[in-house]
Structure 1
Amino acid sequence: MNQTTNLDWPAGYRINPRAPSVNHGLVESFKALPTAAIGDAMSRNVGTYGLRQYHSGLNVSMCGPAVTVRVRPGDNLMIHKALMLVERGDVLVVDGGADVTQAIIGGLIRTTCIAKGLAGLVIDGAVRDLAEWAEDGMPCYARGHTSRGPSKDGPGEVNIPVVCGGMAVMPGDLIIGDADGVVAVPIADADRILRKTLEHLKREDAIRESNRTGTSDPERFDAVLRAKGLPI
């Protein structure tokens, strides 16, 4: 691709380079963790909402760096361009404006994603060809589905900050998905969030065991109620 300045792009179009690659060990470490625990370690205020999984199986997990796309609702021109730039293991994150009147991803694109070795897709828009998405091989989260197909006129942008399912995503963020949903972890904070998530899971294991044995400490909640002025 020819190098251009910001002023060279027509309004509404931009194609930025892919973010630097992520350490494979970091990807594998996060892929083994539940999104709920990762979200808890990030103050419980991150993660998608309003999206559902279109692949089959509750045990399917997804993890990889984000290649981001923003498209005009119902148009997938820049999705096709982004698929020329992705690398094996990437997650395609598409801000489609939460529009579900036209599908912007379908079975043909799914075939390309498998050939490219993508880790998965997160689409704040609609998909179609549900029978194909239900097959093994490509995790997909989307806002909804319709048989109506997309236009390919643009505009759109690649590798820019987006909002997908209520979640802010930067190019290169680590995207983790499972049956509960999808979270984005900034690479600069990934090591710290990984450590906090593992610590959180240890605490949950202790709580789970006390719940199982009926030895839960009543002070866990009574202290909170007293602090709010209740005569507990």
Structure 2
Amino acid sequence: MNETTRALLRRVSTATLATALYKRGFRSQMIQGVLPLRTLGESMVGPAYTIRTIPAREDLNKLEVFRDWSHPQRKGVEDCPPGHVFVVDSRKDPRAASAGGILVTRLMVRGAAGVVTDGGFRDAAEIAKLAIPAFHARPSAPTNLTLHQPIEANVPIGCGDAPVFPGDILVGDNDGVIVLPAHIADELAQEATEMTAFEDFVQEKVAGGQSILGLYPPTDEANLARFAEWRRQHGR
């Protein structure tokens, strides 16, 4: 992806991006029900590399399948390009184990930008200590290796009710993960950066006691002039 876009997206929130997407008619891009295993200092950003699963059929999903080098999950871990986000459709079932500590470590070492699943992780406490952002739905019970079976990699999926196409840009922060259609990611990054500057200005003014009326949204022209001066002073 465009590295300037990647750098910009690391500094904007999923909430701001959701607003920018809403302006363009996109209302279902936030992956529902997933949160990071640890607090993030900056946003996770990267193109999607996807894994699709289906409910397991017991005779086709025994532990022996993991010996197969072409197994979609195992092969996917080795094929996911550096800088990409490994994202798994686990059908919104937190009982399903999308990966464990060893596989996530392998993704980290290979340079993946992050891991996202609407299922669960095994070894969640161990994964939380790794230097890779990881998002999952909190499991209500120990995750099950054989509840779902991976079927194919790098195809369109649904993850937490959001459509994810290979190459779409995933941005994850402490509120969750949002999916940016690849063809508008650059313009969304620029717009969200502008929106973030204005929101930082508004936050400062509101914290100082100013009313939101005429400020948010900026229907009073005087506030636009104040914002322009604030940007000049802060180099924004």
TM-score with structure 1 setting the length: 0.76
Matched, 1:59 2:41: yes
| Residues in 1 aligned to 2:161 and 2:113: alpha-carbon distance in whole angstroms | 21
Query: Deviation at 1:152?
Result: 9.6
- Give the secondary-structure state (helix, strand or coil) at the position aligned to 2:16: helix
Contact 1:48-1:164 at 8 Å conserved across structures: yes
CA deviation map 1:193-219 (0-9, x unaligned): 112212211331332233123222535
Q: Root-mean-square deviation (CA), in Å? A: 2.6
CA deviation map 1:144-192 (0-9, x unaligned): 3343441399451211111112221110011111111111112210122
Distance 1:187 1:214, change over 3 A: same
Aligned partner letter, 1:79: Q
| Residues in 2 aligned to 1:182 and 1:148: alpha-carbon distance in whole angstroms | 21
| Residues in 2 aligned to 1:58 and 1:23: alpha-carbon distance in whole angstroms | 22
**70-79 or 172-181: which moved more?**
70-79
Matched, 1:216 2:199: no
| Residues in 2 aligned to 1:220 and 1:29: alpha-carbon distance in whole angstroms | 25
Contact 1:64-1:176 at 8 Å conserved across structures: yes
Contact 1:91-1:119 at 8 Å conserved across structures: yes
| Residues in 1 aligned to 2:73 and 2:199: alpha-carbon distance in whole angstroms | 40
Aligned partner letter, 1:35: T
Match of 1:137 in 2: 131
Aligned partner letter, 1:48: I
Match of 1:176 in 2: 171
| Residues in 1 aligned to 2:52 and 2:82: alpha-carbon distance in whole angstroms | 21
Matched, 1:197 2:197: no
TM-score with structure 2 setting the length: 0.75
CA deviation map 1:61-103 (0-9, x unaligned): 3111100111124678422221222111110111011122332
Q: Structure 2: state its 5+ residue gaps.
A: 217-236
**69-78 or 207-216: which moved more?**
69-78
Higher helix share: 2
| Residues in 1 aligned to 2:208 and 2:3: alpha-carbon distance in whole angstroms | 39
Distance 1:108 1:194, change over 3 A: same
- Give the secondary-structure state (helix, strand or coil) at the position aligned to 1:216: coil
| Residues in 2 aligned to 1:140 and 1:129: alpha-carbon distance in whole angstroms | 12
Identity %: 31
Match of 1:127 in 2: 121
5 Å-filtered alignment, 1:80-95, equals: 80-95=74-89
Query: Deviation at 1:34?
Result: 1.7
Match of 1:24 in 2: 3
Q: Pick one of 78, 98, 103 that aligns with 2:97.
A: 103
Contact 1:160-1:171 at 8 Å conserved across structures: yes
| Residues in 1 aligned to 2:42 and 2:212: alpha-carbon distance in whole angstroms | 35
Distance 1:215 1:152, change over 3 A: closer
Contact 1:60-1:139 at 8 Å conserved across structures: no
Aligned partner letter, 1:203: F
| Residues in 2 aligned to 1:98 and 1:205: alpha-carbon distance in whole angstroms | 34
Q: Structure 1: state its 5+ residue gaps.
A: 1-21, 222-232
| Residues in 2 aligned to 1:153 and 1:204: alpha-carbon distance in whole angstroms | 42
Contact 2:98-2:119 at 8 Å conserved across structures: yes
| Residues in 2 aligned to 1:125 and 1:29: alpha-carbon distance in whole angstroms | 29
Match of 1:49 in 2: 32
Distance 1:213 1:65, change over 3 A: same
CA deviation map 1:32-53 (0-9, x unaligned): 2222211221118331221122
Question: What number of residue pairs does the alignment pair up?
Answer: 201
Matched, 1:115 2:97: no
